[in-house]
Amino acid sequence: MMRLGYEAMTGILLALLAAVSWGSIVFISNKLGGDEDSQTLGTTGGALLFAIVVFLYKRPDLSTLVWVVGFISGLFWSLGQKNQFGAVRYLGVAKTAPMSTGLQLIGTTFFGVFIFKEWQTKMNIIVGIAALVLIIAGALLTSLNQEGERGQTKNLKKGLLVLLISTVGFVGYVVLIRWFNIDGWAAVLPQAIGMVTGAFLMTLRDKPYNKYAIRNILTGILWSTGNLGLLLALPRIGVATSFSLSQTGIVISTIGGLFFLNERKSKKQVWRVLLGCLFIIAGGVVMGVTKR
């Protein structure tokens, strides 16, 4: 029993490490500059550097299955990240982060609960759904438009389409690793190679080899820290709980977009966003209860 408690607590802390790391990505990449192509390419470059260091340190066994699944998972991620960066152009950081989170949570929770059967008791299901509702409600609150914004409907439709594509990529990247029970330490290098390959192919036409791509290597190292945390949390607390907890970091990017990137909001919207952040934090805390 003590062992299970320790494993669950470790998994929760690892998922929260991912939350802090990932919650800073969209905000930091925006501050570093560049378009979605240079940001994606730079991020994958940083992820590959991180993966090489981890591989040399841990020396994990890499079977053919690990290489194939990890590589494909990385391709999915590059699809998700490029389109998430692209959505910022239409929605801004403060809207993109929470909306993206809500869509990803729906996808990963579906697989976690209905495919992997991670919530097996009635109490788990009740508490888990309550937590998910809180997080999604918070995401919706933070993403509501200001009345009278010019072109808001058109931009919202374009942004949502881009985010749907992004969601497919992010959900596929997480679910594949869990489906084949790939060890987190072993997955890092193949996954990073898949990420770089995907980013290179998707940005090849625009040739984003510039200073912004180099700057965003820092974004990749930050992302990789969170990624490793999530990969190690998956076998401990499952997809539904670990991914939901990892997404509570959108509070960082949302507040960063409001107060440090000067994304214009009315006073009413600011309070709505802050209330949404409180909902998200509460949801993350409640989600942790499903693994008590």
CA of residue 109 relative to chain centroid, distance: 14
Q: Cβ(80)–Cβ(247) under 8 Å?
A: no
Please tell me the predicted confidence (pLDDT) of residue 60: 92
Please tell me the predicted confidence (pLDDT) of residue 1: 43
Please tell me the predicted confidence (pLDDT) of residue 224: 93
Please tell me the predicted confidence (pLDDT) of residue 261: 67
Please tell me the predicted confidence (pLDDT) of residue 70: 96
Please tell me the predicted confidence (pLDDT) of residue 112: 83
* Predicted structure pTM score: 0.81
Angle between helices 64-91 and 93-110 (to 10 degrees): 140
Please tell me the predicted confidence (pLDDT) of residue 250: 75
Residues 6+ apart with CB under 8 A from 137: 276, 279, 283
Name the strand (E) or helix (H) holding 172: helix 152-179
Please tell me the predicted confidence (pLDDT) of residue 83: 93
The amino acid occupying position 49 is L
**Mean pLDDT in consecutive groups of 10 residues from the start of the chain, 292 residues:** 69 90 84 90 95 93 96 96 88 78 82 84 85 83 60 76 94 92 92 96 88 94 92 86 80 74 70 82 73 56
Domain ranges of the chain: 2-289
- DSSP collapsed to 3 states, 9-47: HHHHHHHHHHHHHHHCHHHHHHHHCCCHHHHHHHHHHHH
Residues 6+ apart with CB under 8 A from 21: 222, 223, 225, 226, 227, 229, 249
